[in-house]
Amino acid sequence: MLRTLIRDALASEAPVADLTVCGWIRTRRDAKDVIFLEINDGSCLTNLQCVVDPDSPVREKLGGDGTGASLCVKGDLVASPGKGQRWELHAKTLRILGHADPETYPLQKKRHSDEFLRSIAHLRVRTNKYSSVFRVRARAAAAVHAFFRRNGFFWVHTPILTGSDCEGAGEMFRVTTLSPGEKDLSKDFFGHQCNLTVSGQLEAEALAMGLGRVYTFGPTFRAENSNTPRHAAEFVMIEPELAFCELPDLMDFAEDFVRSCVDEVLSTCPEELALFDRWVEPGLIDSLKTVAGENFARITYREAISILQKSGKNFEYPVSYGIDLQTEHERYLSEEHFKKPTMVTDYPRNIKAFYMRANDDGDTVAAMDLLVPRIGELIGGSQREERYDLLRDRILAMGQEASSYDWYLDLRRFGSVPHSGFGMGFERFIMMLTGVSNIRDVIPFPRTPGSLEF
RNA sequence: UCCCCAAUAGCUCAAUCGGCAGAGCGGGUGACUGUUAAUCACUAGGUUGGCGGUUCAAGUCCGUCUUGGGGAGCCA
């Protein structure tokens, strides 16, 4: 079944004889002297119009099949006399591969709600919107890898199964081979408790201490009962870790990273972005161009508090130095005050994770969050505490056993270096790129509390 | 986990004060047409999310459960 991708057929510079195309019928229009089939094979957003002569044997092969059926068509690619497309395929032979009963095939030639399509996640990739989302997802992943590769990074694979129950990033899923009711963890597969990872950061730090620049790009699991359009139980996180890097360099790097990837998707997915701009999020392309073209706003936590206090806004959560920024505060900063991606740095130590590097003021840590309009927190990162004594003290202050962090502390005992890194939720990045407002709609088969379909 | 809202035909939604279950789209049949969200006519299609209650009478009111959406928390 040697076939031409519709993407390539549509890009043709000249007519082509005897082209074979395979795909799914999106719509069928019958006329007296001609039948039009719009065929999509997923290679691009645009359908290929296929013309069938009702008096030909091809017509008999087509039968009554319409929307949803899969087929192979061989024919001549010729300039289309009709409006709306440059090329069309005049079918000479046709073979239906799989029927789709129109009475029961759920996808119609009309717009469906996201909620309904989510209930048929195995079929929604056959729609314009969702095929576009997943094409953009793949292109964005490629852009991420390309950026890191250009900048001397190595992709590392950190464990998905972990014996640590304190990676410091939320509730974990337990993994066990024990029978229900069996409590003796020494009889479990690993001889002790096992969880799904909530972050590859600690291991990435270790790898950065030899490879210099590394990044993770893989699955992450959070057992938090979060029911919001921005959280999933299983998602993909990107965590670069840079040796010999302090916070200001990390900020420059993070900004360069986001802007480069946005820019690359703008140039590789114009059709898809145009569809999102038209149907999903008006103004999307302009806002992405702004992200790619303008510097991000940068403020310290202290400045953020000051801006919020002077805003005249009546926030539900009162603003004072020392509080953690709430969603309403983050939205005000990035959506109303700066109206663009905003980096907030140097948070009070006691609202941030133990591994963040203490600043000289004795009060704040070298942390950095990137707040993006519509998305919220896209990136959270920091310079890591590389000083053994200070890190151990923080672990003890949390009430943790230092022995649980032996290997992590070792990184500070042997050739410790200043280093920094951040985590970016890949799906949140896709939401930003596509304008899709629910994380469940940028993951092919999303896992959320109470939902494990497909 | 908390607060608010919703659930009616395959899909999207109407149904006035508690009083005969409706439309558009999609499907089927036919007509028409180099069409492109095609158009026109006809037609089929319902345990009004589940369970319980109030009432002469419940899609409508009450309780509860389930599912979904929005907001919050947690975070990426």
How many degrees, rounded to 5, is the angle at CA A295 between CA A294 and CA A299? 140
Average pLDDT over residues A154-160: 96
What is the CA A116 to C1' B59 distance in angstroms? 22
A23 touches strand B (CB under 7 A): no
Say which nucleotide is closest to residue A85, CA to C1' distance: B36
What nucleotide is nearest A450 when CA is compared to C1'? B67
Rounded distance in angstroms from the CA atom of residue A226 to the C1' atom of nucleotide B3: 15
Q: Which residue has the tokens 């999307």?
A: A284
**Nearest residue (CA) to C1' of B68:** A115
Report residues 128-187 of A contacting strand B, contact meaning Cβ closer than 7 Å: 169-170
Q: How many residues does chain A have?
A: 454
| CA atoms of A284 and A289, how far apart (whole Å) | 9
- Which nucleotide, over all strands, has the C1' atom closest to the CA of A171? B74
- What Å value separates CA A23 and C1' B8? 37
- Residue % of chain A over a pLDDT of 90: 74
Nucleotide nearest to A116 (CA to C1'): B11
Confidence band of A1 (pLDDT split at 50, 70, 90): low
Q: At what angle do helices A247-268 and A128-150 cross, to 10 degrees?
A: 140
Residue A115 CA, nucleotide B51 C1', distance (Å): 26
Q: CB of residue A256 closer than 7 A to nucleic acid strand B? A: no
Q: Is the pLDDT of residue A170 over 80?
A: no
Query: Can you give the pLDDT at residue A403?
Result: 82
Among chain A residues 340 through 399, which have CB within 7 angstroms of nucleic chain B?
376-380
pLDDT value, residue A201: 93
With CA atoms as reference, report the closest residue to A52 among A30, A72, A69, A68.
Answer: A30
Half-sphere exposure (Cβ direction) of A92: Cα atoms closer than 13 Å: 9
Domains contained in chain A, CATH given: 6-105 (2.40.50.140), 124-441 (3.30.930.10)
Q: Which strand B bases fall within 7 angstroms of a protein CB? A: 1-2, 10-13, 25-29, 32-38, 67-76
Nearest residue to B26 via alpha carbon and C1': A108
- Is the CB of residue A52 inside 7 Å of nucleic acid strand B? no
Q: Which residue is nearest to nucleotide B71 (CA to C1')?
A: A228
Give the nucleotide at minimum CA-to-C1' distance from A33.
B34
Nucleotide nearest to A84 (CA to C1'): B36
Residue A347 pLDDT > 60, yes or no? Answer: yes
Whether A295 CB is under 7 Å from strand B: no
> pLDDT for A23-72, tens place per residue?
999 999 888 888 999 999 999 999 999 999 888 888 888 888 888 999 99
pLDDT value at A220 more than 90: yes
pLDDT beyond 60 at A167:
no
What tens digit of pLDDT does each residue of A414-434 get? 999 999 999 999 999 999 999
State the DSSP code for A359: P
Mean pLDDT of A144-168: 89
Which pLDDT score, from 0 to 100, does residue A61 have?
87
As a whole-number percent, the residues of chain A with pLDDT over 70 amount to 99
Residue A57 CB closer than 7 angstroms to strand B? no
Confidence of residue A182 (pLDDT cuts 50, 70, 90): confident
Q: Is the minimum distance from the CB of A2 to strand B below 7 Å? A: no
pLDDT of residue A311: 87
Q: What mean pLDDT value characterizes chain A?
A: 92
Structure tokens given for A448: 């959320």
Q: What is the pLDDT of residues A242-280, one digit of tens each?
A: 999 999 999 999 999 999 999 999 999 999 999 999 889
Rg (CA), chain A: 26
State how far the alpha carbon of A362 is from the alpha carbons of A77, A346, A350, in Å.
Answer: 71, 11, 11
- Tokens encoding A337: 């005050």
Answer yes or no: is A101 CB < 7 A from strand B: no
Amino acid A50: pLDDT = 93
Instruction: Give the span between the Cα atoms of A289 and A40, in whole angstroms.
Output: 29
pLDDT exceeds cutoff 70 at A168: no
Residue A292: which pLDDT band, with cuts at 50, 70 and 90? very high
